[in-house]
Amino acid sequence: MRRRCSTRYPLVLNGIVDTTDPRTGASVQPCLVTLRNTRDVFTGLNLRLVEPLACLSHLNASVSKRPAELAPVRPVLEFDMVDKRFVDEVDVLADLDQRPNLLKLSPTEFESLIQNLFAKMGLDTKQTRPSRDGGVDCVAFDPRPIFGGKVVIQAKRYRNTVDVSAVRDLFGTLQNEGAPKGILVTTGGYGPASYEFASGKPLELIDGSNLLYLLAEHAEVQARIDPGELD
């Protein structure tokens, strides 16, 4: 059964120009267009046939009144790449042994591994400081226009099934962070209640087998998840 992404959650588009200020010669990146709308509105557009200004009006966009002068508008949502929660990146992938057992990694090493993996997959990723509240382990920024944006990632190095409460917590974190998507990654698995709760929400659940596949596909790491070695 194929799970569909919900069309009710907002997507944000900021039209930022990388150019030179003719007054100073300095490099600038003004935001000239900004908008927020739902996925179903975006997917209903035929961008080859629309008239640009009419389309932006239809999307309730804020547009620069003087774009030729690079007069900016305030973005609907700004992605802050400087956050006091972020820590320096640790390249765990480079230090892994051949056929590593992921369950032998420390929780912090496992979080770094997940950050490294999503960076390999093309996201701009930042690992956060350890916290007691089970909050954000990693923040990623998908650079794709329209469908990209901020992604909240939680990593759980578990032997067994992740409780549905962890999926609910991720959804709450997603709303607090103002991110359009959340990903929960585990070495274990998920029960029916977790998949039922995630259905129709912008949540992606990656279990142990899918994690091993992603490591092999994107990082060329043939990892293992072997609880027997811990006994």
Concatenating the DSSP letter of every residue in 139-176 gives: EEEE-STTT-EEEEEEEE--SSEEPHHHHHHHHHHHHH
Examine the domain organization and report whether 25 and 127 are in the same domain: no
- Stretch 138-158: mean pLDDT, rounded? 79
Listed range (86-90, 133-137, 213-217) with the worst mean pLDDT: 86-90
**Tokens representing 69?**
């002068």
Same domain (yes/no): 199, 132: yes
User: Is-contact 210 190, C-beta < 8 A?
Assistant: no
Considering just the CA atoms, what is the radius of gyration of the chain in Å?
A: 20
133 plus 173 within the same structural domain: yes
The pTM of the full predicted model, rounded to 2 decimals, is 0.59
Residues 19 and 125 both lie in one domain: no
Residue 166 in any domain: the answer is yes
For residues 78, 84, 85, 86, the Cα torsion angle rounded to the nearest 10 degrees is 80
Domain count, the chain: 2
68 has pLDDT over 70: yes
Residue 163 within a domain: yes
Q: Quick check: is 4 in a domain?
A: no
Does residue 2 fall inside a structural domain?
no
Residues 107, 208 within the same domain? yes
Structural domain boundaries enclosing 50: 10-69
Q: What is the pLDDT of residue 177?
A: 77
Same domain, 125 and 37: no
Residue 208 lies in a domain: yes
196 has pLDDT over 50:
yes
Cα gap 125→212, rounded to integer Å: 19
The conformation of residue 73, written as its DSSP 8-state character, comes to -
* 99 shares its domain with 126: yes
CATH for 94: 3.40.1350.10
Q: For residue 184, what pLDDT is reported?
A: 94
Same structural domain for residues 136 and 183? Answer: yes
